[in-house]
Structure formats: C-alpha cells, structure tokens
Amino acid sequence: MQVKRRLSSQSGLSLLETIGVVSIGAVLATMTLPHVYDLIANSKAESLASSINVYQHALSRYYADVGALLPLDDRGLPHREQTGDSARSDSFPARLTLVATDSRVGSSNLWPKFHGPYLEKFDSQHPPELGERMFMPTVAALSLGSVVTERNYAWDLKGDNARSDIPTDANVVVLRVTGFTQDQFLRFDKIIEPDIGTTSDERQVRGRAKFDSRGQTLLLYLAHQ
C-alpha cells in the first residue's frame, strides 16, 4: 500500500502545478496570436498586390495589341462599360479572359488585333484573398485638378495635393473591391505605395489606392488613356 501511495503521489501534476502550466500556456498564446494574425493579414494583402501587377500587365499587353484601354463591343469598337462585372460578356475582365479563337471574337474593326487571353482568370464573385466582390469598370476621369474624394473618379497619382492629375475625360480602368476594412486597406496600401501620405486620412485619398470607409470599398487606379 505504501508503494502504491508513493507512485500515486509521484505521477501527474498537482492542482497548483496544473494551474501554473495553463497560465503559462495562456500567456504564450496571448503573445503569439497577434503575431500570427499579422502574418496572415500581411500575406493576404501581398497576394492582392501581386494580383494587381498581373492585371496591369494584362492591360499593357491588351493595349499594345488593340491600341485602346476599353473593352471591344460586338462590332469591335471600344466602349466604356461601367459595371466591370466579369459576369457580363462585354465587360473588360470578361474580354481580357476571352480566347482569341472564341466564337464571340469578331472580325471587324479592332477585333483582328485581339490576341487573348490576356488574363487567365478574373471572377468578380471571388477576389484574391481580400474583399467580398471585385469589378473592373472603365470610366471617364473627372476634370484635371478636381478635388479627390474617396468615391469619385479622380486620382492624385503623385500623392502630393489630393487633386486629380489625370487628364480630363481620360478613359480610366479601375479595380473596385467591396467588403474591405480599413486595416486591410492600410496594409495593402503600405505595400503598393509605402511613401504616399503621412496619416491614415491622407492615405485614403492620395495615390493610386483610395478607400471609402463608409462603403468599405477599395477604389484602385490601374491605367488610363
């Protein structure tokens, strides 16, 4: 019996020891989780930034072939399409992913210059890592020198005075991502434009990337003509 009691007292942890181990584990978890969260959040922002580079490269190739920064309509003429929803066959993202041998590729006007696909994939319902939905509309820029707001089609690309430096009525290709948080925007903006804006408010309206906190929407300039 004495041997059994000794073995019992030596096996396992006492209540105080168990509480100590649990407390240490809780402290370590508290210290580690924020770091893990930052790593995941930064990784998602970097994934979106990488996708932006792919989109811009696709637009550059498309422009080199077609000579326009607008999607072609069924007649082969460039036109502005403001939804930017890939579900629409005449939207820019849908055209960029179109194979040159597709039956929808015509033979008139600018269609003979089309040598797609320029993008492997663009799905408005599934943005890369961040956001709920994304769109690629083609719109008319506001007048040169217009005051830049979070929602209008004006961009202070130099990031110096919050006034548009895009020529009046230029065709602008935009990436609009909904379901964005301010934290996500600041992480993303820091990657693509680390030297623009000294405060959060300045970063939200200056440079290529703008953020509408009320609508939780990222509005990103891609290219203009």
pLDDT for 9-34, tens place per residue?
455 567 666 666 566 655 655 656 56
Residue-averaged pLDDT of the chain: 89
Q: What is the pLDDT of residue 40?
A: 83
- Amino acid found at 36: V
Average pLDDT over residues 1-15: 53
The residues facing 211 across adjacent strands are: 218
pLDDT score of 187 more than 60: yes
Range in 26-35, 59-68, 168-177, 198-207 with the lowest mean pLDDT: 26-35
In a domain, 2, yes or no: no
In a domain, 103, yes or no: yes
pLDDT score of 106 more than 50: yes
- CA pair distance 180, 165, nearest whole angstrom: 26
- Higher-confidence residue of 9 and 212: namely 212
Residues of the chain above pLDDT 70, percent: 84
Is residue 138 within 8 A of residue 171, CB to CB? The reply is: yes
In a domain, 206, yes or no: yes
- Higher-confidence residue of 80 and 21: namely 80
Tell me how long the chain is.
Answer: 225
In a domain, 72, yes or no: yes
Q: Give how far Cα 121 sits from Cα of 21, 50, 66, 100, 150, Å.
A: 50, 14, 20, 15, 28
Task: Report the number of distinct structural domains present in the chain.
Answer: 1
Q: Which residue range is the domain that position 101 belongs to? A: 45-224
The residues facing 218 across adjacent strands are: 177, 211
Name the band, by pLDDT with cuts 50, 70 and 90, for residue 69.
very high
Name the band, by pLDDT with cuts 50, 70 and 90, for residue 126.
very high
Radius of gyration of the chain (CA): 26
In a domain, 35, yes or no: no
- Higher-confidence residue of 111 and 24: namely 111
pLDDT score of 89 more than 70: yes
pLDDT score of 8 more than 50: no
Q: What is the pLDDT of residue 225?
A: 95
In a domain, 5, yes or no: no
Q: What is the pLDDT of residue 37?
A: 66
Average pLDDT over residues 144-149: 97
In a domain, 194, yes or no: yes
Q: Encode pLDDT of 36-46 as tens digits.
A: 667 888 889 99
pLDDT score of 61 more than 90: yes
In a domain, 37, yes or no: no
